[in-house]
Amino acid sequence: MQPGARPARLFVWIGAAALLLLAAGSFTPLPNALNRLMAGRTELSPAEAIVVPGRGGADADEILTNRSLRRTLRAIALYQRNLAPILVFSGDSGEIDARVRLARGLGVPVEHIVAAYGAHTTREESAVLERLLRPRGVRRVLLVADPIDMPRTRALLEGRGFVVLGAPTASSGPGDPESRLHLLREIASELAAWGYYRLRGWL
Amino acid sequence: MDIEHIVLPALVLMTSLGAVVLGTWRLGLAPRRLGGAALRAVETIGLLVAFGVANVALGIAGVLAYRGLTGEFMSFYVLNDAILGLLSLLQALVFQWWRAGRRD
Angle at Cα A27 formed by Cα A22 and Cα A30, nearest 5°? 80
CA distances from B5 to A34, A173, B17, B18 (A): 20, 16, 20, 21
Q: What is the DSSP letter of A135?
A: G
Q: How far is A70 from chain B (nearest CA, A)?
A: 20
User: Considering only CB atoms, which chain A residues are within 8 Å of B97?
Assistant: 1
DSSP per-residue codes, A158-172: HHTT-EEEE--S--S
| Mean pLDDT lowest among A66-80, A172-186, B24-38 | A172-186
Q: Chain A residues within 8 A (CB-CB) of chain B? A: 1-5, 7-8, 10-16, 18-19, 27, 120-121, 177, 185-186, 189, 193, 196
Please list, in sequence order, all residues whose beta carbon lies within 8 angstroms of the beta carbon of residue A51, skipping any fewer than 6 positions away: A88, A90, A129, A141, A142, A143, A144, A157
pLDDT at A109 over 60: yes
Predicted confidence band of residue A198 (pLDDT cuts 50, 70, 90): very high
pLDDT at B103 over 70: no
| Gyration radius of chain B's alpha carbons | 20
What average pLDDT does this structure show over A161-175?
A: 90
Sheet arrangement for strand A87-90:
A113-116, A87-90, A49-52, A140-143, A163-166
Q: What is the 3-state secondary structure (H, E, C) of chain B?
A: CCHHHHHHHHHHHHHHHHHHHHHHHCCCCCHHHHHHHHHHHHHHHHHHHHHHHHHHHHHHHHHHHHHHHHCCCCCHHHHCCHHHHHHHHHHHHHHHHHHHHHHC
User: Considering only CB atoms, which chain B residues are within 8 Å of A196?
Assistant: 76
Most confident option among A1-10, A145-154, A173-182: A145-154
Determine contact: B62 vs chain A, CB below 8 A. Answer: no
In terms of C-beta density within 10 A (0-12 exposed, 13-18 middle, 19 or more buried), how is residue A129 classed? buried
Report residue B26: phi and psi, to 5°.
-100, -30
Of chain A, the percentage scoring pLDDT greater than 90 comes to 85
CB A136 within 8 A of CB A158: no
pLDDT at B104 over 70: no
User: In angstroms, rounded to a whole number, what is the distance separating the alpha carbons of residues A74 and A144?
Assistant: 7
CB contact under 8 A, B101 and A1: yes
In 3-state terms, what secondary structure has residue A50? strand
Model pLDDT for residues A55-68, shown as the tens digit of each residue: 887 787 788 988 89
